[in-house]
Amino acid sequence: MLSPSEQDDDPFLITSELEIRSVLRSIQRHASLIRMYARGNPDQSIMTTILELDDAAQRIILDASPDPNLNERLTRAPAVMFETQVDHVNISFTGQNLEPCVHDNLPALSMAYPESLRRLQRREFYRVEIPMGEPVSCTVPIIEGGNPPRREVVRMKDISVGGVALLDTENRLPHQSGTTFRGVRLSLPEVGDLTVDLVVLRVHTHVLPNKKEVVELGCRFDGLSRADSTLIQHYIGRLERRLNAKRRGF
């Protein structure tokens, strides 16, 4: 459950019961596919749909996995993550205490309505490529079992209010999706430094002409404050203006 201060810091968070119900109805009406996985284990996800919304009981009925073992893991998980999209708007929420049930004589899962959910439109994820000469730095603290903590400075490929893409040219970072980097330091020219948490969503390896491999990590911000979101938007705007002026020859 989010604290009041955390709720205030997230401009995309919906906590109104009526709004949450409206968004859930929209997901059901569009028959949107929902990615469902136990928190911390995104590699074992399944696609589900909302079968029924019970406003009286404040519960969601979801299509179950054909794998009984996966259903059991989901019902045992402390938290289950849900991600979907409706009309190009990304929606995510968390469920707890999933229970097995039956819907139309078929196995299903039941959970309480979420206390909050996040809606992010594509325009809020506008990304700007960071030029090679731009004096941006990203310092990632690494804590691995049995090894002393260290800090790695890596290049950022692009940035948006939603997250960043990191380029690991020296194979110094963990490369598993779902990894969370805490206390990452971003130094943005003309804006300043900010400390953020990043969650790795995707990992892709590029092979350069010289056969060297570069690993790209697509990350989203985790719990980005409104103040830091504003700083990033200011940086993106300033960088875009500089790049546009350069293209026009100024």
Strand 150-159 versus strand 163-168 pairing type: antiparallel
* Residue 221 near residue 197 (C-beta atoms within 8 A): yes
Report if pTM > 0.85.
Answer: no
CATH code matching the domain that covers 12-123, chosen among 3.40.50.300, 3.20.20.60, 2.30.110.10, 3.30.830.10: 2.30.110.10
State the pLDDT at residue 202. 87
Top-confidence residue, 126 or 155:
155
Average pLDDT, the chain: 87
* Residues 22, 162: Cα–Cα separation, whole Å: 24
pLDDT in tens, 210-243: 878 899 999 999 988 888 988 998 898 888 888 7
Domain ranges, ordered by start, for the chain: 12-123, 126-247
35-67: b (≥16 Cβ within 10 Å) or e: ebbbeeebeebbebbbbebeeeeebbbbbbbee
State the pLDDT at residue 1. 45
* Residues 64, 48: Cα–Cα separation, whole Å: 7
Top-confidence residue, 211 or 5:
211
State the pLDDT at residue 213. 85
Q: The domain 126-247 belongs to what CATH superfamily?
A: predicted glycosyltransferase like domains (2.40.10.220)
Single-letter amino acid code for the residue at 240: E
